[in-house]
Amino acid sequence: MPKEAFTTKAVAIAFVVLTVSAIAGIITMTILFEVQTSNLNMTARPTWPPTTPAPPPVMRLPRNLIPDRYEISITPFLYIQVPEGINGSTNDQNLSFTGISTVYFHCVKRTNTVYLQSKNLKVYGGLLMNTKTREIIEVLKIIHHNDNTDFLEMPLGKALEDGENYSLALSFIGEISENLEALFVSTYQEGDPAPEEYRDRQRFLAATNLEPTSARRVFPCFDEPDMKAVFHVSIVHRKGATVLGNGAKKGSQTINDKWEVTEFFPTKKMSTYLFAFTVSDFTSFNTEYKNMEIKTYARPEATAAGHTQYAANVTGRLLEFYEKLFEISYQQNTLDQIALPDLEVAAMENWGLITYQEGNLLFEENVSSLLHKEQIVTIIAHELAHQWFGNLVTMNWWNNIWLNEAFATYMSFLAADEVEPTFKIKELSVLFNLHSAFEQDSLVSSHPLSPPAKDVQTTHEIVQMFDVITYCKGAAVVRMLADMVGETTFHKGIKRYLSDFMFQNTEPSDLWKYVQKAVDDDNGYTKVAKVMDSWTKQIGYPVVTINTIIGEITQRHFLFNDSSESRLLWQVPIRYKTNISEPEYYLLERKSVQTNDFVSKKGEWFLANINCTGYYRVNYDLRNWGRLLNQMETDQSRIPLMNRGQLIDDAFNLARAKLVDVTLALNSTRFLQNETEYIPWESAVRNLEYFVLMFDRSEVFGPMQAYLQRQVENLYNYYKNKTGFTEIPKDPTSQRSQITAIWYACSNGLPDCVETASRMYAAWMFNITNLQHNKFDNNTKPEANSTSTSINPNLRSVIYCQAVAAGGKKEWEFAWEMYQTTSDTSEKDHLRKALSCTRKTWLLNRYLEYTLDPEKIRLMDVASSITDVARNVAGQALAWNFIRAHWDYVSQDGGSLLINEVTRRFSKQFELEQLERFRTDYDLGPAARAVEQAIEQTRVNIEWVKEHKDTVLNWFEKEMSK
C-alpha cells in the first residue's frame, strides 16, 4: 500500500472491522433476522428522524458523481417450499428482504452532498470512503425525499473532490411485493412430474421487474439510464433454490443447514433497470450456442413435458441472425430465459436473464396453436434485439425510449421472418403496428416520438412513454427510413452506430449522423436528420392527397376531430405506381406541389405508398378512388396485397375524419365476397369493428349484421369445404384467414357456424363429463387438455368463445371448471377469453368479481380479462362500472389498457360526462394520458355518429335490398 494511503491505526481498524462486517454481515442477518423480527412490524433504524426538504430545481440526479460498479448482496426471506405445518399461503411468508450495497463512483465536480435514489426502502448505515487514500468521510444524515424524485440525500462532513474515487456502503430493508412490482413474489401449483402426494401444493418464487424506475425499490442506486455501471452480485437464499442473475454463476457456498449464498460473475456495464435475479425451484432445458449455453427455465413439470423446447431451439437461431446482421457478438457470458407464472409485462430484456410471462415462452404440442408459435418467436426476437438496442447501446433519457423499443420491434420482424419464413411475420406485423399507431396518432392528445426531456421527468410520465406511439409508430418510422435510404445502407449505418457506442448512451441525433455517413458513402441524397426530425419531434402524421386530374399533391396533419389548418410539415417519401407503369419515387417537402407526373393521362389509376412503407395516409380525387375500387372488385390481384388492406384502412379512417364520404369507405368492402387473403380481411374486420362499436346498440345493427354475414359467407364456405372445422390449412396466413372466417361468421350469426361451434363444444363437454365420472371413482382430477384435442388448437379460442356466447350457464360453468383444472397456459388463455363471451350479464358480473381474487384470476391477467368483457356489448357497461368501483386494484397492471378498451364504445353524451368526472375524481397515475385520449375520442365518436347514422343505415338497407 503506498504511503499516501496511510491512515491512523484507529481508522484502519475501523475500516477492517467494517470490511469484515460487509462480507459477514449478511450471513449474520440471515441467521438472526427471522428470530429477531418474527413477531415484529419492521421499522427502520434511523439515527436521525427523516425529513422532507424542498426538492432540487430538477427531477434528475446531479451529474457530479458517476457510478463505476456496485457490490450488492441481497437476502429474500422467502420459502420456495413452505415447511410442514404451515398452511402455505403468502400470509405465512416473511415477505421481506435485506441487503448491503456498496457503490463505487468517481467525482467529476466538487460536492458536499451525495444523491442516490431509493423508494420504499429503509436505508441505514452509510460509510463513505476515498478508495485511494482510505479516508472515511462522515455521512451527516440520510434524508429520504418523499416526493416524485425518490432522492436519498446524504450531506457530508467534507466535500468530495473532482477527480477522486469513492465508495459508499449502505444497508437496507425492503418488502417483497405481492403486486408484480420491483422484487415480487409469484406462486404456482406444483404438478407433474412431482410425486402424487406433493401435487397441487403451492410453490413460491421471487423475481424482479425493474424497468423503468424500480431498481431504486430493490437497492439504493443511481437509477437513471445513463448512469451505467458494472454489477457484482450475490444472493443469499434458502437451500435447494435455483438462483439466476444477470451474470454467470461463480459459485455457491453453504452458510448453515437452511441458507446458502450464490455469487455471480460481474456483469457488463449496464443501466440499473436491467438488473435482475430470480429465486425459484425451476428447471431448465439447455441448448448449446457457440461457446455459451442457452438455458430456458420453467416450472419443473413444464420443462419435463418439453414445453420449453421450441423457445430454447429458436433462441440460438435468432441470436445468430442478430450477430451476423450487426457484426457484433452477444456480449454477456450467459443467456438464461425464464417463464414466470406472473409478470406485469409480456417480457423483459434483462441482460443475461430475460423474463417472460409463461404464455410467451412455453409451447405445448397439440395444445398450443401454431399461431401461438408466431407470438413466441416474435416476442423472443424482440427481447433478443434489445441485447443490442437498449442493453448494449441505451438512450440517454426516457423521452427517447423509442430508440430501444422501436428498433427492437422493427428488428424482431426481420429476425422472426428469417427463422420462420412461412409465418410471413414481417408483412403481417408491419401492418398491425402501422394501423395501431395510426389510430392513436390521429388524436390531438398524442405525443411526439421524442418529446422534450423536461416533459418526461416523473415515474408516471416515464411509464406513459411505453405506449403504441413508442413501439408501433417508432417501428414504422424506422422501417420508412430503411426504405428511403435502402436497407443495405441503413444496416451499414446501424452497425457503425452500435459498434461506436457500445456500453454508452445516445440521442437520436447520434443515430442520424451514422445513417447519414452511410448514405454519403453510398452516394445517396437523403438528408437524414432533416427528414427524421419531422417524424420524431412533432406529433401525428400527414394525409397526402393526390389529385390525378390536375397533378396536385398536398399534405396536411391527419386528425379525427380537427379541421383547422395545421402548420406541421413532414418530409414525405412517396412510392407510387399506376396500372400501366412501374413504381417510382417522389419526396414531398412542401405543403403542396403540382406536377405532370401525377396526372392520369390515359384513364389509369394511381396508387401511392406501395407496400405501406411510408407512415402516412393517402387520399385521392373521387375519380381515382372509383378506378381503384373497381379494380378491387374486378381483379384485386392487380393491387399489391398490403395495399388492398391499406386502401380499406385509409378509406374508413378518412371517412372518420370526414375527408371522404362514409359510403366510399363502405363501398371498399364489396370486393370481399371474392377475397380469401388474410390481410384485406383483417383490415376490413378491424375497421368495420368501429361501425359495430358505434351502432351495435342501435337500429343500424340489424341490417349491418346481415350485410356482414353475407360478405363473410363465401370465405366461411371456402374453408368449410377446403378443411372443415377439424383440419387447418398448411399455410400460416391461410390459418389466420380460416380463424377470421369462423369468428366473423359465428359472431354475425351465420346459423351453420354457430351450430357447428356449439356441437363441437358440447361433444367436448360430454367427453369430459364421462371422464370425470370414471376418474372420480379413482379419486383423481381430470385435466382440461386431456380430451380437448378433438378441437384443433388453432380453433379452440374461437370455438370456445362462440359456443359460450350461444349457450348459457352450463357452457359457462364448464369453461370455468376447465380453466381451473388445466395447467397449460395456452389453454388457460383460450378459456379465460371464452368466459367473457357469454351474453348473460349475471355471468359476466360474476366473472368480473372473480378478477378481484388473485386465487381465481392472476393479477397480470386482470386488465385483459376486464377488457375482454368490455368488448362484449352485453358487458361493456358492467366493465365500466366495475373499473370505477375497483380502480385502485384493477389499475395496478394495465390502467391505460383498461381505459382504452372499456371506453371504445362511448358515443353518447352521458358517457362523455361520466368520463370527464372520472378524470376529475380519480387518481389516474400513468393512465392520465389514456383518459385524455378517451375523452377526445368520445367527442369524435359523438359527432361522427350524429352526422353519419342515417347515411350508414340507408347504405346497409340498400345493399341488402339488392
| Cα–Cα distance for residue pair 338/354, rounded to 1 Å | 7
The alpha helices in 386-507, defined as continuous H runs, are 402-419, 425-441, 459-463, 468, 474-485, 487-500
Contact by Cβ (8 Å): 336, 282: no
Question: Vertex 49, ends 43 and 51: CA angle to 5°?
Answer: 115
What is the Cα Rg of the chain in Å? 30
3-state secondary structure 725-765: CCCCCCCHHHHHHHHHHHHHHHHCCCHHHHHHHHHHHHHHH
Give the containing element (helix H, strand E) for 482: helix 474-485
3-class SS shares of the chain: helix, strand, coil, % to 5 = 50, 20, 35
Contact by Cβ (8 Å): 508, 474: no
**Active-site amino acid positions:** 383
Strand 65-77 vs strand 230-238: parallel, antiparallel, or unpaired? Answer: parallel
Grid cell digits, residue 755: 351450430
Angle between helical axes of 508-521 and 528-536 (0-180°, round to 10)? 150
> For residue 666, which phi and psi values (nearest 5 degrees)?
-65, -35
451-473: b or e for each residue (b if 16 or more CB lie within 10 Å)? Answer: beeeebbebbbbbbbbbbbbbbb
User: Residue 298 carries which DSSP code?
Assistant: E
Contact by Cβ (8 Å): 388, 274: no
Contact by Cβ (8 Å): 546, 553: yes
Strand 283-289 vs strand 151-160: parallel, antiparallel, or unpaired? Answer: unpaired
Nearest to 379, CA basis, from 402, 396, 400, 356: 356
- Residue 198, amino acid: Y
3-state secondary structure 582-628: EEEEEEECCCEEECHHHCCCCCCCEEECHHHCCCCEEEECHHHHHHH
DSSP-based three-state secondary structure for 276: coil
- Calculate the alpha carbon distances from 829 to 372, 678, 758 in Å: 11, 23, 19
- Residue 507, amino acid: E
Q: How many CB atoms lie within 10 A of CB 907?
A: 24
Nearest to 924, CA basis, from 466, 462, 460: 460
| Cα–Cα distance for residue pair 72/591, rounded to 1 Å | 57
**Chain position carrying cell 450531506:** 155
**Chain position carrying cell 358492467:** 878
Nearest to 308, CA basis, from 340, 331, 263: 340
Contact by Cβ (8 Å): 574, 593: no
Determine if residue 779 is left, alpha or beta; phi over 0 gives left, psi from -120 to 50 gives alpha, anything else beta. left
Nearest to 393, CA basis, from 490, 479, 271, 276: 271
| Cα–Cα distance for residue pair 763/759, rounded to 1 Å | 6
Q: How many CB atoms lie within 10 A of CB 24?
A: 10
Which residues, at least 6 apart from 604, have a Cβ–Cβ distance to it below 8 Å? 578, 579, 580, 581, 627
| Cα–Cα distance for residue pair 443/677, rounded to 1 Å | 31
Give the containing element (helix H, strand E) for 834: helix 825-835
Chain CA centroid to CA 719, Å = 33
- Residue 580, amino acid: I
| Cα–Cα distance for residue pair 409/416, rounded to 1 Å | 11
Q: How many CB atoms lie within 10 A of CB 603?
A: 10
| Cα–Cα distance for residue pair 948/661, rounded to 1 Å | 9
